[in-house]
Chain A
Amino acid sequence: MAHPLIATLPHRPPMVLVDDITDLYPGDRITTVKHIDPIEICYRDANPLAPYPVTLLLESFVQSAALLWFGSDPVHPGEQLLFAGITNADIGAPPIPGQTIVHHVKLLACIGSNAFFTGHCEVPGSPTALTVERVALARRPLA
Protein backbone atom coordinates (compact mmCIF):
# COMPACT_ATOMS: atom_id res chain seq x y z
CA MET A 1 0.00 0.00 0.00
CA ALA A 2 1.34 3.42 -0.98
CA HIS A 3 2.48 5.93 1.65
CA PRO A 4 -0.60 7.88 2.84
CA LEU A 5 1.12 11.23 2.21
CA ILE A 6 0.76 10.65 -1.57
CA ALA A 7 -3.00 11.14 -1.21
CA THR A 8 -2.34 14.74 -0.05
CA LEU A 9 -1.09 15.69 -3.53
CA PRO A 10 -3.73 17.70 -5.44
CA HIS A 11 -2.96 15.48 -8.43
CA ARG A 12 -5.17 12.56 -9.36
CA PRO A 13 -4.78 9.75 -11.91
CA PRO A 14 -3.46 9.74 -14.54
CA MET A 15 -1.25 12.57 -13.28
CA VAL A 16 -0.06 10.99 -10.01
CA LEU A 17 3.51 10.14 -10.95
CA VAL A 18 4.86 8.93 -7.59
CA ASP A 19 4.14 5.33 -6.56
CA ASP A 20 5.58 5.28 -3.05
CA ILE A 21 7.76 7.05 -0.50
CA THR A 22 10.61 4.94 0.81
CA ASP A 23 12.31 7.49 3.06
CA LEU A 24 11.03 10.75 4.52
CA TYR A 25 12.77 13.21 6.80
CA PRO A 26 10.23 16.09 7.01
CA GLY A 27 11.82 19.43 6.33
CA ASP A 28 14.98 17.78 5.00
CA ARG A 29 14.84 15.06 2.35
CA ILE A 30 12.70 12.40 0.70
CA THR A 31 13.21 9.30 -1.43
CA THR A 32 10.38 8.18 -3.71
CA VAL A 33 9.87 5.57 -6.40
CA LYS A 34 7.99 5.58 -9.69
CA HIS A 35 7.59 2.45 -11.83
CA ILE A 36 7.51 2.98 -15.60
CA ASP A 37 4.56 1.10 -17.08
CA PRO A 38 3.87 0.68 -20.83
CA ILE A 39 0.12 1.05 -20.19
CA GLU A 40 0.59 4.73 -19.32
CA ILE A 41 -1.12 7.23 -21.62
CA CYS A 42 2.16 8.42 -23.11
CA TYR A 43 2.75 4.94 -24.58
CA ARG A 44 -0.67 4.59 -26.21
CA ASP A 45 0.65 5.07 -29.77
CA ALA A 46 4.33 4.52 -29.07
CA ASN A 47 7.03 1.92 -29.05
CA PRO A 48 6.42 0.11 -25.71
CA LEU A 49 10.18 0.21 -25.05
CA ALA A 50 10.59 3.92 -25.85
CA PRO A 51 12.30 6.08 -23.22
CA TYR A 52 9.97 7.69 -20.68
CA PRO A 53 9.26 11.30 -21.66
CA VAL A 54 11.64 13.78 -20.01
CA THR A 55 8.67 16.00 -19.16
CA LEU A 56 6.95 13.27 -17.15
CA LEU A 57 10.23 12.26 -15.46
CA LEU A 58 10.59 15.86 -14.36
CA GLU A 59 6.95 16.02 -13.21
CA SER A 60 7.55 12.90 -11.09
CA PHE A 61 10.56 14.62 -9.50
CA VAL A 62 8.54 17.79 -8.86
CA GLN A 63 5.75 15.79 -7.21
CA SER A 64 8.37 14.17 -4.98
CA ALA A 65 9.52 17.66 -3.95
CA ALA A 66 5.90 18.63 -3.20
CA LEU A 67 5.53 15.57 -0.96
CA LEU A 68 8.64 16.58 0.98
CA TRP A 69 7.10 20.04 1.46
CA PHE A 70 3.70 18.65 2.47
CA GLY A 71 5.37 16.29 4.95
CA SER A 72 6.26 19.25 7.16
CA ASP A 73 3.57 21.75 6.03
CA PRO A 74 0.34 20.16 4.74
CA VAL A 75 -1.49 21.89 1.90
CA HIS A 76 -4.35 24.06 3.12
CA PRO A 77 -7.88 24.19 1.67
CA GLY A 78 -8.12 27.04 -0.81
CA GLU A 79 -4.47 26.71 -1.86
CA GLN A 80 -3.11 25.58 -5.17
CA LEU A 81 0.35 24.16 -5.79
CA LEU A 82 2.29 25.62 -8.72
CA PHE A 83 5.54 24.62 -10.36
CA ALA A 84 7.32 27.98 -10.47
CA GLY A 85 10.58 27.11 -12.17
CA ILE A 86 13.73 25.10 -12.54
CA THR A 87 17.45 25.89 -12.88
CA ASN A 88 20.13 23.67 -14.39
CA ALA A 89 18.54 20.28 -14.91
CA ASP A 90 20.72 17.75 -16.72
CA ILE A 91 18.93 14.87 -18.38
CA GLY A 92 20.92 11.65 -18.69
CA ALA A 93 19.74 8.18 -19.57
CA PRO A 94 15.92 8.20 -19.36
CA PRO A 95 14.23 5.09 -17.99
CA ILE A 96 12.20 2.66 -20.09
CA PRO A 97 9.10 0.60 -19.25
CA GLY A 98 9.76 -2.10 -16.69
CA GLN A 99 12.28 0.04 -14.81
CA THR A 100 11.74 1.84 -11.52
CA ILE A 101 12.95 5.38 -10.98
CA VAL A 102 14.23 6.41 -7.57
CA HIS A 103 14.02 10.15 -6.77
CA HIS A 104 16.27 11.70 -4.14
CA VAL A 105 15.07 15.19 -3.23
CA LYS A 106 16.44 17.61 -0.64
CA LEU A 107 14.84 20.79 0.63
CA LEU A 108 17.05 23.84 0.16
CA ALA A 109 14.84 26.52 1.69
CA CYS A 110 11.28 27.55 2.49
CA ILE A 111 10.58 31.25 2.14
CA GLY A 112 6.99 32.15 2.85
CA SER A 113 4.77 30.41 0.32
CA ASN A 114 7.72 29.36 -1.84
CA ALA A 115 10.07 26.40 -1.47
CA PHE A 116 13.24 25.34 -3.27
CA PHE A 117 14.61 21.85 -3.77
CA THR A 118 17.55 20.01 -5.29
CA GLY A 119 18.20 16.37 -6.12
CA HIS A 120 18.56 13.66 -8.68
CA CYS A 121 16.85 10.55 -9.93
CA GLU A 122 18.18 7.24 -11.12
CA VAL A 123 17.37 3.70 -12.08
CA PRO A 124 19.51 1.66 -9.64
CA GLY A 125 22.47 0.22 -11.48
CA SER A 126 22.15 2.65 -14.42
CA PRO A 127 23.61 6.10 -15.14
CA THR A 128 21.82 9.01 -13.47
CA ALA A 129 18.61 9.89 -15.31
CA LEU A 130 18.18 13.46 -14.04
CA THR A 131 20.13 15.93 -11.92
CA VAL A 132 18.44 19.11 -10.72
CA GLU A 133 20.27 22.08 -9.24
CA ARG A 134 17.10 23.85 -8.12
CA VAL A 135 13.35 23.48 -8.47
CA ALA A 136 10.95 26.13 -7.20
CA LEU A 137 7.41 25.36 -6.03
CA ALA A 138 4.83 27.87 -4.87
CA ARG A 139 1.53 27.85 -2.99
CA ARG A 140 -1.01 30.40 -4.06
CA PRO A 141 -4.66 31.00 -3.23
CA LEU A 142 -7.04 29.31 -5.62
CA ALA A 143 -8.17 31.89 -8.20
Chain B
Amino acid sequence: MNRERERLKGHLDLLLLSVLAAGPAHGYAIIMALRARSAGTFDLPEGTVYPALHRLEDAGLLTSYWAEADGRKRRVYGLTSRGEAALAAERTEWTRFASGIQAVLGWTV
Protein backbone atom coordinates (compact mmCIF):
# COMPACT_ATOMS: atom_id res chain seq x y z
CA MET B 1 0.00 0.00 0.00
CA ASN B 2 2.89 2.38 0.80
CA ARG B 3 4.51 1.73 -2.62
CA GLU B 4 1.21 2.39 -4.35
CA ARG B 5 0.79 5.60 -2.38
CA GLU B 6 4.28 6.75 -3.34
CA ARG B 7 3.57 5.98 -7.02
CA LEU B 8 0.39 8.03 -6.82
CA LYS B 9 2.24 10.95 -5.25
CA GLY B 10 4.70 10.86 -8.13
CA HIS B 11 1.88 11.35 -10.65
CA LEU B 12 -0.33 13.61 -8.56
CA ASP B 13 0.19 16.70 -10.72
CA LEU B 14 -0.86 14.84 -13.86
CA LEU B 15 -3.90 13.37 -12.09
CA LEU B 16 -5.06 16.77 -10.83
CA LEU B 17 -4.61 18.41 -14.23
CA SER B 18 -6.53 15.55 -15.80
CA VAL B 19 -9.50 15.90 -13.43
CA LEU B 20 -9.66 19.66 -14.04
CA ALA B 21 -9.71 19.11 -17.81
CA ALA B 22 -13.43 18.39 -17.30
CA GLY B 23 -13.97 21.91 -15.95
CA PRO B 24 -13.35 24.09 -12.87
CA ALA B 25 -13.92 22.50 -9.48
CA HIS B 26 -13.18 23.05 -5.82
CA GLY B 27 -10.79 20.89 -3.82
CA TYR B 28 -13.33 18.48 -2.36
CA ALA B 29 -14.91 17.84 -5.77
CA ILE B 30 -11.49 17.33 -7.36
CA ILE B 31 -10.47 14.78 -4.74
CA MET B 32 -13.80 12.94 -4.93
CA ALA B 33 -13.49 12.80 -8.72
CA LEU B 34 -9.97 11.37 -8.36
CA ARG B 35 -11.27 8.71 -6.00
CA ALA B 36 -14.23 7.83 -8.22
CA ARG B 37 -12.22 7.68 -11.45
CA SER B 38 -9.49 5.58 -9.86
CA ALA B 39 -12.07 3.14 -8.45
CA GLY B 40 -10.78 3.80 -4.96
CA THR B 41 -7.09 3.37 -5.80
CA PHE B 42 -6.45 7.03 -4.99
CA ASP B 43 -6.48 7.15 -1.19
CA LEU B 44 -3.94 9.80 -0.26
CA PRO B 45 -4.93 11.85 2.81
CA GLU B 46 -7.23 14.45 1.27
CA GLY B 47 -5.60 17.36 3.09
CA THR B 48 -2.22 16.61 1.52
CA VAL B 49 -3.54 17.22 -2.00
CA TYR B 50 -4.08 20.95 -1.49
CA PRO B 51 -0.36 21.88 -1.49
CA ALA B 52 -0.13 20.25 -4.93
CA LEU B 53 -3.02 22.40 -6.18
CA HIS B 54 -1.33 25.51 -4.77
CA ARG B 55 1.98 24.63 -6.36
CA LEU B 56 0.34 24.01 -9.74
CA GLU B 57 -1.25 27.44 -9.46
CA ASP B 58 2.13 28.97 -8.59
CA ALA B 59 3.54 27.27 -11.69
CA GLY B 60 0.85 28.95 -13.80
CA LEU B 61 -0.87 25.69 -14.75
CA LEU B 62 -3.98 26.40 -12.69
CA THR B 63 -5.88 29.49 -11.76
CA SER B 64 -8.29 29.90 -8.85
CA TYR B 65 -10.93 32.21 -7.48
CA TRP B 66 -12.84 32.40 -4.19
CA ALA B 67 -16.58 31.80 -4.15
CA GLU B 68 -19.20 31.48 -1.41
CA ALA B 69 -20.87 28.17 -0.61
CA ASP B 70 -23.16 27.50 2.36
CA GLY B 71 -21.80 30.64 4.03
CA ARG B 72 -18.18 29.45 3.69
CA LYS B 73 -15.34 30.61 1.47
CA ARG B 74 -14.70 28.12 -1.30
CA ARG B 75 -11.70 28.08 -3.63
CA VAL B 76 -12.41 26.93 -7.18
CA TYR B 77 -9.57 25.82 -9.47
CA GLY B 78 -9.42 25.67 -13.25
CA LEU B 79 -6.84 24.90 -15.91
CA THR B 80 -5.01 27.74 -17.59
CA SER B 81 -4.01 27.52 -21.25
CA ARG B 82 -0.53 26.61 -20.03
CA GLY B 83 -2.08 23.89 -17.89
CA GLU B 84 -3.95 22.52 -20.89
CA ALA B 85 -0.73 22.45 -22.89
CA ALA B 86 1.14 20.80 -20.04
CA LEU B 87 -1.57 18.17 -19.70
CA ALA B 88 -1.47 17.40 -23.41
CA ALA B 89 2.31 17.07 -23.26
CA GLU B 90 2.14 14.82 -20.19
CA ARG B 91 -0.52 12.69 -21.87
CA THR B 92 1.73 12.14 -24.89
CA GLU B 93 4.70 11.30 -22.72
CA TRP B 94 2.66 8.97 -20.51
CA THR B 95 1.27 7.10 -23.53
CA ARG B 96 4.75 6.64 -24.92
CA PHE B 97 6.09 5.54 -21.53
CA ALA B 98 3.25 3.11 -20.88
CA SER B 99 3.55 1.62 -24.36
CA GLY B 100 7.26 1.14 -23.90
CA ILE B 101 6.84 -0.54 -20.53
CA GLN B 102 4.05 -2.74 -21.83
CA ALA B 103 6.18 -3.77 -24.79
CA VAL B 104 9.01 -4.85 -22.50
CA LEU B 105 6.85 -6.59 -19.92
CA GLY B 106 4.45 -8.19 -22.36
CA TRP B 107 1.60 -7.66 -19.85
CA THR B 108 -1.86 -6.59 -20.97
CA VAL B 109 -4.08 -4.47 -18.69
A and B associate: no
